[in-house]
Chains A and B, each alone.
Chain A
Amino acid sequence: MKVLVAVKRVVDYNVKIRVKTDLTGVETQGVKMSMNPFDEIAVEQAVRLKEAGIATEVIAVSVGTRQAQETLRTALAMGADRAIHVLSDTVVQPLAVAKLLTAIVERENADLVVLGKQAIDDDSNQTGQMLAALLDWPQGTFASRLEITDDQALVTREVDGGLETIRLTLPAVITTDLRLNEPRYASLPNIMRAKKKPIATLSPEDLDVDIRPRLEVLRVDEPISRTDGVIVADVTELIDKLKNEAKVI
């Protein structure tokens, strides 16, 4: 079984982001970038499927600028076999990413695609579901457990009320939630080995996909900040403030 895993290069989750002064977006120059944390979980899951003898090959895919290759190298160092980079210097929105991935899945005859449920930059939470729709495949989103036997995937999903388990007939799309696994750190020998693994580069034109944005970003602002609070001395003062000043209890 061929497994495709999609990864995105994003501003590192520990970075306190800054809105650009011209309000056109968020500053990414000179900022630490990393693989989207949910995608690390996706790579880990794909690699575990290979280690369990279920997957025969793990292919990492990323859409983005030249630097996206660094993210693909990380996926290769974690255990992916090879990578495909769809080069684009402009922002590619989820629908277009889903179309690019659809084209790659069809070229590669993949049986399973694993993606992070959400990228922590645009917070869209769309690409996996869109990919499943375009392929007419079933989807197991927000997965915290995945079990594959023959042509079936048993997926436990994190939902608002608790957990839900569904059964999918493969091929299928899985999107990962936090509790699915704990991603490994790539070891130095594996980082060295990853340098020799192949990365193929394609353009959106090669895949015949129109990536023009359908959502125009008019401006990006700082959120309204909260006014400074106070430190109270003890529990009695806290209760007094909540009762008489904030009037919330």
Chain B
Amino acid sequence: MNVLVLGEHDNVELKPQTLNAVTAARQLAATQAGSTVALLVVGADCAAVAAAAAQIEGVDKVLVVDAAHHRHPLAETLAPILTDLAGDHSVVMAAATTTGKNVMPRVAALLDVQQISDIIAVIDGETFKRPIYAGNAIATVKSLDAIKVITVRTTAFDAAPTGTAAAEIHTLDAAPVGSSKAAFVSAELTRSERPELTAATTIISGGRGMASGENFHLLDALADKLGAAVGASRAAVDAGFVPNDYQVGQTGKVVAPQLYIAVGISGAIQHLAGMKDSKVIVAINKDQEAPIFKIADYGLVGDLFDVLPELSEKL
């Protein structure tokens, strides 16, 4: 079976999540001899991305659609490209990022396929495991469709190594843009010197207990010491302490760093769903009954406004 992976990028760099999706694609390709993995890059002036994609181990070829009207690809313009390529590929795959989640169901419906969302394991060519109910149950599902459309939970697959390979790059014709009913207007992206949440090895998240957005500087100070990313619970985002892209949880970002420090987070099911696969979990909360302590490896009961400065100082 030939697997097509949607490469996610900003026309400059490939997003690290694509590397996790390639590993899942490779596992799927390994279930049948002679299978190949192709990576699709759609963008504008994106030659550097294509070159980087060609160096990913396990990618047999890179397909590139490079045109000015693909500078900000939308589901409406990406889906037909993926759908056309599904003729040569029996699996179409993407990381379960907001981009993958936006475009892949559109592809699946155009192909009359029931998508398999957020896979965490490949059992065989048609059987997968996926979390349901915020990860409180794991379903093993078998796809009855001839073409598989899949999104990949990136925390469940290692990043494919890169730098050694040299896959062929094929440039595809960019179909002219029709009368589009959707148009990109603007993006308001959070700029940060810190690692991206989904790629960070250490994450410090704050919850309602932080009490204000200003208090997040206490987490920043600690994050600087540990080279960590800063995240938040839904309660902190809803309260306006931090922007939406900080949110870790069932419907926000799913993370699995080496170390996750939850500060002033009670531990609602929806938050736990986004971080309980972290290797080591630390909980700092003044309420010793908080559910977060049930999944923490190390719990510290105390006032975060005392604990955080002390932690920053002693590290």
Residues of A bordering B, CB below 8 Å: 11, 13-14, 16-17, 19, 26, 38, 93-96, 98, 117-118, 120-134, 137-142, 144, 154, 157-169, 172, 177-179, 213-223, 226-227, 229-232, 234-236, 238-239, 241-242, 246, 248-249
Contacts and interface: CB of A to CB of B under 8 A. Distances in A.
19 contacts: A13-B270, A120-B250, A122-B132, A123-B131, A128-B105, A129-B103, A129-B105, A158-B245, A160-B198, A161-B245, A163-B189, A165-B186, A213-B144, A220-B139, A231-B299, A235-B314, A238-B300, A238-B311, A248-B280
List the 7 closest pairs (A to B, CB-CB), nearest first: A214-B114, A129-B105, A130-B109, A138-B182, A133-B109, A126-B105, A248-B259
B142 interface: yes
A161 to B, nearest CB: 4
Contact of B186 (A121, A123, A164, A177): A164
Contacts of A26: 132-133, 137
A238 B181 contact: no
Nearest to A171: B181
Interface string B91-134: 00000011101111111111011111110000000010001111
A164 B187 contact: yes
Given A129-B104, A133-B108, A216-B141, 5 more contacts: A129-B101, A161-B245, A218-B142, A234-B300, A235-B307
B35 interface: no
Given A160-B198, A246-B297, A235 B99 contact: no
B185 interface: yes
Contacts of B143: 214-216
Contacts of B185: 154, 165-167
A162 B133 CA distance: 26
Interface SS majority for chain B: mixed
Given A26-B133, A223-B131, A238-B298, A133 B110 contact: yes
B20 interface: no
Interface string B157-200: 00000000000000000000000111111111110000000100
A235 B74 contact: no
B17 to A, nearest CB: 9
Contact of A239 (B131, B269, B315): B315
Interface string B49-82: 0000000000000000000000000111001000
Contacts of A178: 234, 237-238, 251
